[in-house]
Amino acid sequence: MKLIVQIPCFNEEKTLPSVIETIPKKIEGVESIEVLVIDDGSTDNTVGVAKDLGVTHILRLEGNRGLAKAFQAGLEYAIDLRADVIVNTDGDNQYAGADIPKLIAPILEGRADIVVGCRGGLQNEHFPLWKRCLQVVGSSLIRRITRLNVSDAVSGFRALNRRSAGELNIVSDFSYTIEMLVHASVKKFRVASVPIDTNPKTRDSRLFKSVPQFLFLSLSTLLRVYVMYRPLVVFQVLGILLLLLGLIPIVRFVAYYYLGEGQGHIQSLVLGGAFATVGVFTVLIGVVADLINFNRRLIEQVLLNQKKIEDRIRNLEEK
The per-residue pLDDT string of the chain (319 residues; one tens digit each, 9 = 90 and over) reads 999 999 999 999 999 999 999 999 999 999 999 999 999 999 999 999 999 999 999 999 998 988 999 999 999 999 999 999 999 999 999 999 999 999 999 999 999 999 999 998 788 877 778 778 888 888 998 898 888 989 999 999 999 999 999 988 888 877 789 889 998 998 999 999 999 999 988 777 766 667 777 777 778 888 888 888 889 988 999 999 999 999 999 998 888 888 777 677 788 889 999 999 999 999 999 999 999 988 888 887 787 777 778 777 777 777 6
Helix (H, G, I), strand (E, B) or coil at 196: coil
Distance CA 77, CA 308 (A): 15
Helix (H, G, I), strand (E, B) or coil at 64: coil
Q: What is the pLDDT of residues 221-254, one digit of tens each?
A: 888 888 888 899 889 999 999 999 999 999 988 8
pLDDT at 208: 65
What is the layout of strands, in order, in the sheet containing 114-118? 57-60, 32-39, 2-9, 85-88, 158-161, 114-118, 191-195
Dihedral sign of CA atoms 207, 211, 212, 214 in order: positive
* Strand spans (E) along 167-317: 191-195
Domain 2-227 has CATH 3.10.290.10: no
pLDDT at 262: 66
Where along the chain do its domains lie? 2-227, 231-318
Cα 28 from chain centre: 29
Cβ count within 10 A of residue 1? 14
Distance CA 286, CA 283 (A): 5
pLDDT at 203: 76
Distance CA 172, CA 16 (A): 25
Question: Using CB atoms within 10 A of its CB, is residue 187 exposed (0-12), middle (13-18) or buried (19+)?
Answer: middle
Q: What is the pLDDT of residues 91-148, one digit of tens each?
A: 999 999 999 999 999 999 999 999 999 998 788 877 778 778 888 888 998 898 888 9
37 forms bridges with which residues in the sheet? 7, 58
Return contacts of 136-145, CB within 8 angstroms, 24+ apart.
138/218, 142/178, 142/181, 142/222, 145/182, 145/222, 145/226
Q: Is the pTM value of this prediction over 0.85? A: no
